[in-house]
Amino acid sequence: MSEEKLEHMRKILNKLEDIKNSQESCIDKINHVITDLFSQPDSKLEKVMEDAHQKASDNVDMVREAIEEYQIRVNKLSQQFE
């Protein structure tokens, strides 16, 4: 494999990190809405936010696992060029 392939894989890894960070930011925003609902309860919106929080958390977990697995592949390839 070429160093060009390695560079491409590193770019993908950076994009995966960006996706994970975006999902974590969504979780923070959802948490702010949930906190705001303490003063003005809305059971339907609370349920939607709880579901959204769970889905975003699941996404973070999936992307984190993908990053870890992909990082191993990137590391193995980079060792070939050392």
Domains of the chain, each with CATH number or no CATH: 3-79 (1.10.287)
**pLDDT one-digit tens code per residue, 11-52:** 999 999 999 999 999 999 999 999 999 999 999 999 999 999
CB 30 within 8 A of CB 46: no
Cβ within 8 Å of residue 59, ≥6 positions away: 23
Examine the pLDDT at 1 and tell me if it is beyond 70: no
Q: What's the confidence (pLDDT) of residue 80?
A: 85
| Residue whose structure tokens are 């992909």 | 70
Mean pLDDT, rounded, of the chain: 95
Section 58-76 average pLDDT: 97
Global pTM value: 0.86
Return the structure tokens found at 26: 């969504």
